[in-house]
A = this chain, B = another copy of it.
């Protein structure tokens, strides 16, 4: 493996980096095949529409988000999730402050090499 995180990751000890206006991120566990990120959004903040070759699954830990994948938009709240296929255009608008658990396969090298 080129990438491999620690085995145990304590949320309070992980650096929370600013990745956008009202958006911060912590890098959770990962290796070459998978990467989990914890992403906090303030109300009104946004993950702008973009696409990447990675498969993605996202869990709504808290808050409310209007997710758009392709031409379809749906409001997801605590306990919901979304699957984003490779290369699908997707974005989210935070309509209630909260946290998303974003998981990608393979690893997001761009996240680790910032």
Q: Is A85 an interface residue (CB 8 A)?
A: yes
Instruction: State whether A83 and B33 are in contact (beta carbons under 8 Å apart), knowing that A57-B28, A59-B101 are contacts in the complex.
Output: no
Copy tally for this chain in the complex stands at 2
Whether A80 pairs with B8 at a CB distance below 8 angstroms is yes
Complex interface bits, A56-72 against B, C-beta within 8 A gives 1, otherwise 0: 11110100000101001
A contact residues, total (Cβ < 8 Å): 43
Main secondary structure of the interface of A (DSSP, over half): strand
Q: Is A4 an interface residue (CB 8 A)?
A: yes
Instruction: State whether A33 and B106 are in contact (beta carbons under 8 Å apart), knowing that A8-B74, A11-B81 are contacts in the complex.
Output: yes
Whether A7 pairs with B84 at a CB distance below 8 angstroms is yes
A3-37: which have CB < 8 Å to B? 4-12, 28-31, 33-36
